[in-house]
Amino acid sequence: MEYKKEVKCVIWDLDNTIWDNVLTESKTIKLKTGIEDILNTLDSRGILNSISSKNNYDDAMRKLKEFSIDHYFLYPQINWNAKSASVAQIQKDLNIGIDTIVFIDDQPYEREEVKSQYPQVECIDSVDYKELLSRSRFNPKFITKDSQRRRLMYLENIKRTRLEEEYEGPKDEFLASLNMEFIISEAAEEDLQRAEELTVRTNQLNATGKTYSYKELNYFRSSPYHKLLVCELKDKYGSYGKIGLGLIHITEITWEIKLLLMSCRVISRGVGSVLLSYIMKQAKTENKKVTADFIKTDRNKMMYVTYKFSNFKEVLVLDNGYIKFENTLEKIQEFPPYIKLSIN
């Protein structure tokens, strides 16, 4: 099977994979040669790391802390469950595509068990761990500021989620307590690497599923007939990074939305329709209607719902999954009251 997508997460076994020997059987446990440098490099490239290991959780975490590498691993699954179940839980917690995960284990049985349940997951024998950094899937085209901070942004979000679970009032009150600021700006040249990365990595809230190159985005950024908008979300815990992108083709009578996407990391923050409402309000000030391209994929149903919820009507439906939406702007959804909107 050919694996094409860039890797978003590497899930590691521990015994005879991250370290030599078996934790429950040996007093001599040492890290595999170069493993710390590999973890650090993956992290710096924006590739997340996690664990699926059959071990006692407290003992394994104690050993990881002893080696000072515990901070690299998000949502570690250290238990006696099937490895495939652990992979599924990590995928759910990270909210990423199963086909962007790599699983590394020294045991052929464990690799086959995962592969039998999730053939989209690339399973690698741990003896080949030193080759990871040179493989194409582990080398993103661009390494942006957001990608370098990806693990830290997940950690910030874990903190937010924990506080939300503990919060006893209405959800809107909790969201208001975050002091969120949604920033919309026309893309600058320094935004283009992240913009391309967003088109490649974002699937669930991507209206067309199309990817755009740096060169293409730079053309649209400079074109008098287009607007290329980027969005950032901040709250009192820090920045979520650049999480949204909109590409609009401007004609004499219409603003045509050619691309609309939002990172899945902010779905639970109630900001999915903010950029769309902003585009609609701006078009209305110019007395123009709004149309939008939509192409059905196996993951972007949420974006379809976003358009329908915002009163877009289907004016063209093709067999290949293409839909042309239109909105006369008679009714525009207001921005959530718990978000401060800033326009740069």
Residue 263 has pLDDT above 90, yes or no: no
Q: pTM (2 decimals)? A: 0.78
| Out of 123-137, 143-157, 262-276, least confident range | 262-276
Residue 215 has pLDDT above 90, yes or no: yes
Residue 265 has pLDDT above 80, yes or no: no
At 298 the pLDDT is 82
For residues 12 and 35, give the distance between their C-alpha atoms in angstroms, rounded to a whole number: 11
The radius of gyration of the chain's CA atoms, rounded to the nearest angstrom, is 22
Residue 197 has pLDDT above 80, yes or no: yes
For tokens 């719902």, what's the residue? 305
At 100 the pLDDT is 94
Nearest to 14 by CA among 3, 1, 26, 2: 26
In order of start, what are the domains of the chain with their CATH numbers?
9-138 (3.40.50.1000), 145-343 (3.40.630.30)
* Residue 263, token pair as written in the block: 């990172």
**Most distant pair of Cα atoms in the chain: their distance:** 75
At 308 the pLDDT is 93
At 2 the pLDDT is 76
**In the chain, alpha helices (H):** 35-44, 57-66, 83-94, 108-117, 145-148, 150-166, 171-177, 192-201, 214-222, 274-285, 301-309
Give per-residue pLDDT as tens, 287-333: 999 999 999 988 888 889 999 999 999 999 999 999 999 999 999 98
Q: In b/e form, how buried is each residue of 291-316, taking b as 16+ CB within 10 angstroms? A: bbbbbbbeebeebbebbeebebeeee
At 54 the pLDDT is 96
For residue 247, the cross-strand partners are: 228, 259
For tokens 């989209």, what's the residue? 120
Give per-residue pLDDT as tens, 68-92: 999 999 999 999 999 999 999 999 9
At 142 the pLDDT is 82
At 22 the pLDDT is 93
Q: What is the average pLDDT across 183-187?
A: 96
- Taking all residues of the chain, what is their mean pLDDT, rounded to a whole number? 93
More confident residue, 20 or 268: 20
Percentage of residues in the chain having pLDDT higher than 70: 99
Residue 29 has pLDDT above 90, yes or no: yes
